[in-house]
Amino acid sequence: MALDQTRCALIIAPHPDDEVLGCGGTIKRLANAGADVHIAIVTKAGEEAFGPDVARIGREEAALAHACLGVRATHYLDFPAAALDTVPHATMNAEFGRLIQTLRPDTLFVPFLGDVHRDHQLTFLSAMVAARPRGGQGPARVYAYETLSETNWYAPGLTPAFIPNVYFDISDTVDVKIAAFTMFSSQIRAAPDERSLETIDALARLRGSTVHRSAAEAFMLLREID
């Protein structure tokens, strides 16, 4: 199915802002084309580990960013941030499964298995279980997205590398993507940090130029059924 004919897309993000870094321009394109776009934020920053305000701020920022991007609904799963390895695998699988069975997305975006953050890895693993094509169910298209400050910091030659095979043209939405990321004022860093606006822009330009577009987001297709 062409991107612009997507009926319902679900983006699973370990932490608020991952969905914008990886798919912000694509989300806006999907919303513009009339798709229902849902975001699932997997974790919540616990007070003990992160202080009293981090979770609240993250949600406020996400609300603003998601409004920019035309997101239909944001789902907070409230698993403990930076501690998904303490959650039983079956518990996460079940929660993701419920979400997929409720929303019935035809298109699913998951974080990349090779990201250095264990929360990203475990989110990937549970999402792949929930997305199985058992009984003809499961999303028809599953993509992994890249996340600045996670994807490029792992172990070359030992952990999976992000080698994209899909490029979504975001020439018309890259500005909104960057505007949406600007809402995460607690997360923006000055260049040359990977989480700077300049680096987000550089990545979009590079991914775009690979396919002769002004800007693009790149993905690894994991499964398509047509």
DSSP tag of 145: E
Shortest distance, position 67 Cβ to its own copies, whole Å: 25
Residues 80 to 99: which contact its own copies by CB under 8 A? 82-83, 85-86, 88-90
Shortest distance, position 64 Cβ to its own copies, whole Å: 24
Residues 7 to 46: which contact its own copies by CB under 8 A? none
Among 116, 175, 182, 188, the residue binding its own copies under the rule CB under 8 A is: 116
Alpha-carbon span 57 to 87, nearest angstrom? 24
Strands lying side by side in the sheet with 8-13: 73-80, 36-44, 8-13, 107-110, 141-145
CA end-to-end span of the chain: 7
Q: Of the two residues 74 and 114, which places its CB atom closer to its own copies in the complex?
A: 114
Shortest distance, position 176 Cβ to its own copies, whole Å: 18
**How many Cβ atoms are within 10 Å of 15's Cβ, its own excluded?**
23
Q: Of the two residues 74 and 194, which places its CB atom closer to its own copies in the complex?
A: 194
Alpha-carbon span 18 to 147, nearest angstrom? 6
Shortest distance, position 33 Cβ to its own copies, whole Å: 11
Residues 130 to 189: which contact its own copies by CB under 8 A? 132-137, 144, 148-149, 152-161, 163-169
48 binds its own copies (CB under 8 A): no
Reduced to 3 states, what is the DSSP secondary structure of residue 30?
A: helix
Alpha-carbon span 65 to 62, nearest angstrom? 5
Shortest distance, position 206 Cβ to its own copies, whole Å: 5
Peptide bond before residue 139 is cis, with ω within 30 degrees of 0? no
From 17-25, 31-39, 61-69, 203-211, give the range in contact with its own copies by CB under 8 A.
203-211
